[in-house]
Amino acid sequence: MQITETLAMPQPTFRVNKTDAQWRQILTPAQFQVLRQAATEPPYSNILNNEHRRGIFKCGGCDWPLFASQTKFDSHTGWPSFYQPINRQAVVTRTDRTLFMVRTEVLCANCGGHLGHVFNDGPRPTGLRYCMNGIAMRFYPG
């Protein structure tokens, strides 16, 4: 699957809407920076990069199901990587033109939290690499 502008949603709307003050009450400062301000955690800094049990990865802001462990793979980039979301309603994408490049940003479809970016260099069956910030997610084994 090739990433194209047609996949991107320029102005998504989200079910969960909070003020910055409300988000700061429920998120750690580092989570707030990543989920609400689109920061990136340092590579190899999050334990979810090495999480290999069966389970579900959910949004760290709203607990929305994002990725199944069966789609996780080691991309050797230092961030948890997946070849597809848990379903079509899990995430939305939009064009990110920061840092002097064009990338596809991945957001939680429920709260709009910044999760990471998706690239066209992943494994089969999709050929996609959802490169996610571990701090933007929680893991639920099972």
Q: In sequence order, what are the residues at sequence separation of 6 or more whose Cβ sits closer than 8 angstroms to the Cβ of residue 46?
A: 79, 80, 133, 134, 135
The pair of three-digit structure tokens given for residue 49, joined into one six-digit string? 């990069």
Contacts of 31 (CB under 8 A, 6+ apart): 60, 61, 135, 136
* AA identity, residue 58: K
Task: Examine the residue annotation and report whether 131 is marked as an active-site residue of this protein.
Answer: yes
| Annotated catalytic residue, options 59, 62, 111, 131 | 131
Assign residue 47 a region: left if phi > 0, alpha if psi is -120 to 50, beta otherwise? alpha
Tokens representing 59 are: 């949004």
Q: Which positions are catalytic?
A: 131
